Amino acid sequence: MVAPDPVRYADRQLTRDVAATKSFPLLLPRKLTRMAASPFGYLRGAAPLYYELLAEHPELAEGPSGEGWLVGDAHLENFGAFRTADKDGAEAVVFDVNDFDESVIGPFRWDVVRLLTSVILGGRGLGSNGQQSVQLCHSLLDGYVATLCDGQVPKHAPLAVQALLAKVSSRDRKMLLDQRTERVGHRRRFQRGPRYEELDPEIVPKARAAFEQYVERLDPDKRVVRDHFAIEDLAFRIAGTGSLGGLRIAVLTLGKGDIDSRWVFDMKVEGVPSAQALAPQTQVPAERVLMATRACLPNPPRMAGTTELDGLSMFVRRLLPQEDKLDLTRVAATELPELARYLGTLLGSVHRRGARSLPSSRWDDAALSALTERAIVVAGVHEAAYLAMCRTLPTT
């Protein structure tokens, strides 16, 4: 069906990565190192390559009906635990999709094929053979269709998810602060090192103004205590894989005032989504991310908002100690089918909430088989491009 040139795809992706990190070129080696860790790591950092494949080979983009908000970068590690608050202020720790940076309005099948591709590549990294990885795709699709098309809701989370939620629920703010900051007298500051670096002095006043604008938008009626948002420290944050290389600012505020009650925020530049050529979007980038988050999650992460810095659109959220991801290497092989089915239900729930049009009919076995076949092709292209990239990297 597809006769790609993996070297060409790898070269194009590298060109994109060089362009994405041009403002902070020292981050390029870090991004390439993360992408070189595995074919799945390469998939995580190469969302544009996926949509380039769909554009150049339209048969890969075809499939059953249904359209609405997409995650845009659906893969195994874009699910995780986080704390949320409902409209009445009640707090809960949940496990759900946790990244909408690449969100677009488009056909649901694009998200499904990308998530299936990550199951094939990620499953093999967990020790599953090819046959087992394909079976995990079937489990995922079973859960997805039951939720999207039939409206079924899972009765309980898999044991691995339950264990993660139990673990993170016991964490407090001091644990988060001790991991990311250091005490200096009666103050705290971010620990400079692999995770945080000094922010360019020219950016500091602009970052302060951008954060103040975020607070104004978050609370235009001034119902919250503004002292909670008083900035104590700013740093350049290094995180992610696909987004690594863009401006990302960590903000430490006084919070409730006690040295162990500080608040940590993340301000990240958002750009044109990778699927733009296939599904043009007109929203301001950070507003697009916020709209998708609110549309697709019953209770979005707390204090999500937007701002601008030097014309750059930034998505802002507060980091909380309950944020974490599953360590898939610790999930027993016997639990993987149930987990795959559960992730399918979560993606189905996201699509059902953010739907512009639900499927005209239930996705049948022939359609699901075709989606798996497309994911197998896409996985093969990514693995070949991954190897082509690794061939060009210096040996260590």
Backbone angles phi, psi at 128, to 5 degrees: -75, 140
Distance CA(107)–CA(17), nearest Å, equals 27
- Determine what percent of the chain is predicted with pLDDT higher than 90: 81
- Give, in order, the Cα–Cα distances in Å from 117 to each of 36, 73, 124, 151, 261: 17, 11, 11, 24, 41
Report residue 226's pLDDT band, with 50, 70 and 90 as the boundaries.
confident
pLDDT at 58 over 90: yes
Backbone angles phi, psi at 373, to 5 degrees: -60, -40
Instruction: Please report which residue ranges of 149-232 form alpha helices under DSSP H.
Output: 159-169, 173-180, 204-218
At 274, list the tokens.
């990778």
Q: For residue 328, what pLDDT is reported?
A: 87
Distance CA(105)–CA(269), nearest Å, equals 20
pLDDT at 96 over 60: yes
Q: For residue 90, what pLDDT is reported?
A: 63
pLDDT at 243 over 90: no
Q: For residue 317, what pLDDT is reported?
A: 95
Q: What is the pLDDT of the chain when averaged over all its residues?
A: 92
Q: What does the CA dihedral 45, 50, 52, 56 come to, rounded to 10 degrees?
A: 160
pLDDT at 1 over 80: no
Question: Which residues are within 8 A (CB) of 89 and not within 5 positions of it... i.e. 6 or more apart?
Answer: none
Distance CA(334)–CA(288), nearest Å, equals 38
- Provide mean pLDDT across the span 140-145: 98
- Determine what percent of the chain is predicted with pLDDT higher than 70: 97
Report residue 66's pLDDT band, with 50, 70 and 90 as the boundaries.
very high
Distance CA(10)–CA(297), nearest Å, equals 34
More confident residue, 127 or 78: 78
pLDDT at 87 over 60: no
pLDDT at 69 over 70: yes
pLDDT at 119 over 80: yes
- Provide mean pLDDT across the span 7-28: 91
- Provide mean pLDDT across the span 248-259: 95
pLDDT in tens, 380-395: 999 999 999 998 887 7
Is the Cβ–Cβ distance between 274 and 50 less than 8 Å?
yes
- Provide mean pLDDT across the span 321-327: 93
pLDDT at 2 over 70: no
pLDDT at 4 over 90: no
Q: For residue 300, what pLDDT is reported?
A: 86
* Residue 390 exposed, middle or buried by CB count within 10 Å (0-12, 13-18, 19+): middle
User: Residue 193, SS3?
Assistant: coil
Q: For residue 86, what pLDDT is reported?
A: 60
pLDDT at 396 over 80: no
Which range (110-114, 278-282, 299-303) has the least confidence? 299-303
- Give, in order, the Cα–Cα distances in Å from 218 to each of 16, 53, 285, 357: 33, 38, 17, 30
- Give, in order, the Cα–Cα distances in Å from 24 to each of 14, 147, 195: 15, 42, 15
At 302, list the tokens.
């707390």
